[in-house]
């Protein structure tokens, strides 16, 4: 096949232009809805995120014009975040860095304010392919999650095997953090899935399993909604650092959080977590949003 046959020259009526990026291998298919206003159906999202029939991604992101309220508060753009099951969620740390980098390249600036479902996030370029984001504030308010009933979020009553005495924290999305002695001995899917699906969390919860290596170093793996072990989780890293300090396991306010694909820097200032880490491009292209018919004849 000649390269021309496989290289799209222009977007056809049913296709949409995307860029795929990753932050520590947490990978995203990103669409700019400021340019192409068409929305995505749940089926589109599920298929686009599935590498076998679409592009492949941990989430689908759209860049949008800020809302009136966001604009008034100074937002430069807005981001919407969809999980691989098509459900919209309100926060993702690695996605925020990727979208902020795209927008900073567009403006040539060094700072911007990004509106998300979880609030307005201040982002800044912190190196050639590095972005820092003020991700907080972090809270333990049970009504945010929501929880099926009021419980002490600092001592979660939901346990499974080695995951005991967890902390529930909100950073635009819900997390349950459990400290263990050795992360290497944990079968993440096996121990975290029953907690994610526990009736206390009617909308599910991202489950972080953390090992405090020393006062400033955490090893972390996150079983994200809707049931995937990602290579990195930015919001998870922020709440793990916050939980370690809240629990009195350390007095530090600067952390290196090691995730399966690499490290994020987390700085805590009061309830605010500043997350710093890398971004990278994967590819650009067009993806079809019509129902696809396969002919194997
Ligand atoms: N990987 C993301 C978190 C996505 C959370 C999402 N899966 C949810 O359901 O809240 C991060 O870097 O923060």
Instruction: Give yes or no for residue 276 CB within 6 A of ligand 1.
Output: no
Q: Is 197 annotated as a binding residue?
A: no
For ligand 1, whether the C-beta of 94 sits within 6 Å is yes
Considering the domain architecture, whether residues 14 and 122 belong to the same structural domain is answered as: yes
Q: Mean pLDDT across the stretch 234-244? A: 98
Which residue's CA is the nearest one to ligand 1's atom 1? 233
Across 132-139, average pLDDT: 95
Same domain, 35 and 100: yes
Query: pLDDT, tens digit, for every residue of 91-134?
Result: 999 999 999 999 999 999 999 999 999 999 999 999 999 999 99
Residue with tokens 């604009």: 71
Q: Are residues 152 and 122 in the same domain?
A: no
pLDDT band at 136 (very low <50, low <70, confident <90, very high): confident
At residue 11, does pLDDT exceed 90?
no
Judge if 147 and 272 occupy the same domain: yes
What integer is the mean pLDDT of 249-274? 98
Please say whether the beta carbons of 99 and 114 come within 8 A.
yes
Total number of domains in the chain: 2
**pLDDT(284) > 50:** yes
Protein residue with its CA nearest to atom 4 in ligand 1: 92
Give the catalytic positions in this structure: 92, 233
Residue 154 reports pLDDT greater than 80: yes
Q: Read off the pLDDT of each residue in 228-234 and give the average, rounded to a whole number.
A: 98
Cα(272)–Cα(279) distance, integer angstroms: 22
* pLDDT score, position 295: 40
Q: Are residues 210 and 225 in the same domain?
A: yes
Say whether pLDDT at 151 is over 50.
yes
Say if residue 234 carries a ligand binding annotation: yes
Is 175 in the same domain as 146?
Answer: yes
| Domain boundaries, position 106 | 3-129+279-288
Q: Is the pLDDT of residue 4 over 70?
A: no
d(CA 154, CA 84): 30
Residue that the structure tokens 């609030």 belong to: 119
Query: Residue 297 domain-assigned?
Result: no
Predicted pLDDT of residue 6: 55
Q: Are residues 193 and 255 in the same domain?
A: yes
Q: Mean pLDDT throughout 148-176? A: 97
CB neighbour list of residue 287: distance below 8 Å, 6 or more residues apart: 15, 16, 18, 29, 48, 54, 55
The reply to whether 134 falls in a domain is no
Largest CA distance in the chain: 65
Using CA atoms, how far apart are residues 14 and 19, in angstroms rounded to an integer?
17
**Cα–chain center distance at 178:** 19
**What is the pLDDT, as a whole number, of residue 144?**
86
83 CB near ligand 1 (under 6 Å): yes
Nearest residue by C-alpha to atom 2 in ligand 1: 92
Check: pTM over 0.80? Answer yes or no: yes
């Amino acid at each position: 096949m000649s390269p021309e046959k496989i290289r799209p020259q222009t977007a056809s009526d049913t296709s949409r232009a995307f860029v795929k990026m990753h932050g520590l291998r947490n990978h995203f298919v990103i669409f700019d809805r400021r340019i192409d206003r068409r929305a995505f159906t749940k089926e589109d999202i599920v298929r686009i995120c599935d590498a076998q029939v679409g592009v492949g991604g941990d989430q689908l992101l759209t860049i949008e014009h800020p809302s009136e309220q966001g604009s008034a508060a100074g937002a430069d753009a807005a981001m919407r975040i969809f999980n691989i099951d098509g459900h919209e969620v309100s926060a993702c740390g690695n996605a925020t860095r990727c979208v902020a980098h795209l927008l900073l390249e567009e403006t040539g600036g060094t700072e911007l304010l990004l509106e998300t479902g979880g609030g307005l996030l201040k982002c800044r370029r912190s190196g050639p392919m590095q972005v820092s984001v003020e991700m907080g504030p972090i809270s333990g308010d049970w009504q945010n999650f929501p929880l099926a009933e009021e419980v002490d979020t600092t001592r979660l009553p939901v346990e499974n095997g080695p995951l005991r005495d967890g902390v529930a924290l909100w950073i635009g999305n819900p997390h349950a953090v459990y400290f263990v002695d050795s992360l290497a001995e944990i079968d993440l899917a096996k121990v975290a899935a029953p907690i994610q699906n526990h009736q206390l969390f009617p909308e599910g919860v991202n489950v972080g399993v953390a090992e405090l290596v020393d006062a400033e170093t955490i090893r972390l793996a996150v079983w994200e909604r809707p049931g995937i072990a990602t290579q990195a989780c930015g919001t998870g890293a922020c709440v793990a650092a916050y939980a370690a300090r809240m629990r009195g396991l350390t007095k530090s306010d600067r952390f290196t959080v090691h995730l399966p694909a690499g490290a994020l820097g987390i700085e805590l200032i009061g309830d605010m977590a500043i997350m710093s880490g890398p971004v990278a491009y994967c590819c650009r292209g067009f993806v079809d949003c019509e129902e696809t018919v396969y002919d194997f004849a």
